[in-house]
Amino acid sequence: MYAWEQIQQTVDYIDKHLGEELAIDNLAEMASLSPFYYQRLFKRLVKKPVGEYIKLRRMGKATEALLQKDSRILDIALELGFTSHEHFTRTFKETFGMTPEEYRRNPTTLNRMTKPELSLNYVLVGEGVPLVTEGIVIEVKREQKEEAVRYTGFEKKMPVAFLDGIGCDSGVDPLGQLWDDLHEAKDKIPGLMESGEEAGVTLPCSEEGFFRYFAGARIRPDAAALGYSQWELPAGEYVVCSFEAENFMMLVTDALYKALNYVYGVWLPGHGLQTEGFCAELYASHTMETTSMEIWMKLITDREEKME
């Protein structure tokens, strides 16, 4: 058994027993490691100390449970291993900056600790071969875009540290408001395509330490939407990573985080491919009904490398 498999075994166990006391000595024994080496290896692979990971996973589960409004908050707290409503509320507010009651009254997109699937760091599949992991199905292939596609919407500058924290750090998603602004403005933007296709794009920024994020809807080639940001998905050859999840919230948090890590950390290097500096998330619609999406990354060809 590889070391990552030993850690994954305990990660799986933790998720199934979040409402119970989880002692590090017991988890280390399960992984056939000393507590010292278990904690070192866990932090290296999962990016969080064991105790903090358990707390953040409990909070992640809480965000899902709180959306079920027929469940009492005290019952949710007890099911997740908290001894009181007060302890649960304090931990939730420390994690997300709001109380469970506030979140339930006004649900918002939250970044949260994702349960890692460590096999995605090591398993390389061929083009067009589906990779099935817990909760998601990923497939990567190459595709030719014959014509450019235009989008219009809103743009926001973000610190690069935000990207590093996706899937690990917890709190309100600062990009959620950008999508809300887009959906509120769609009825006023002229020239939008009836398909409703939307794109979220990570773009380079001229200011060091930052990137730009664009959220937009597809617009007709001949349309001009003045007063809004514009972005074009250029024609060319792309690596397309498609995946789906059980629901929209898992799609744009857990599944998106795992897919990005896999395609950039394993699939592209494993196939000796490089892509340009932007990454486009394409949705039929960035709404609660959506459970699948695609990531488009434009390949750098030999000809382009020579021109540079």
CB-CB neighbours of 209 under 10 Å: 8
CA distance 274 to 1: 32
Instruction: Specify the pTM.
Output: 0.88
Q: Which domains does the chain have, with CATH numbers?
A: 3-107 (1.10.10.60), 120-298 (3.20.80.10)
The DSSP bridge partners found for residue 215 are: 154, 200
Q: What is the pLDDT of residue 302?
A: 60
pLDDT in tens, the chain (308 residues): 789 999 999 999 999 999 999 999 999 999 999 999 999 999 999 999 999 999 999 999 999 999 988 999 999 999 999 999 999 999 999 999 999 999 999 988 889 999 999 999 999 999 999 998 877 889 999 999 999 999 999 999 999 999 888 888 899 898 999 999 999 999 999 999 988 899 999 999 999 999 999 999 999 988 887 889 999 999 999 999 999 988 888 898 889 999 999 999 999 999 999 999 999 999 999 988 999 999 999 999 764 443 34
Tokens of 187: 């009825």
Q: In terms of C-beta density within 10 A (0-12 exposed, 13-18 middle, 19 or more buried), how is residue 187 classed?
A: exposed
CA distance 249 to 93: 20
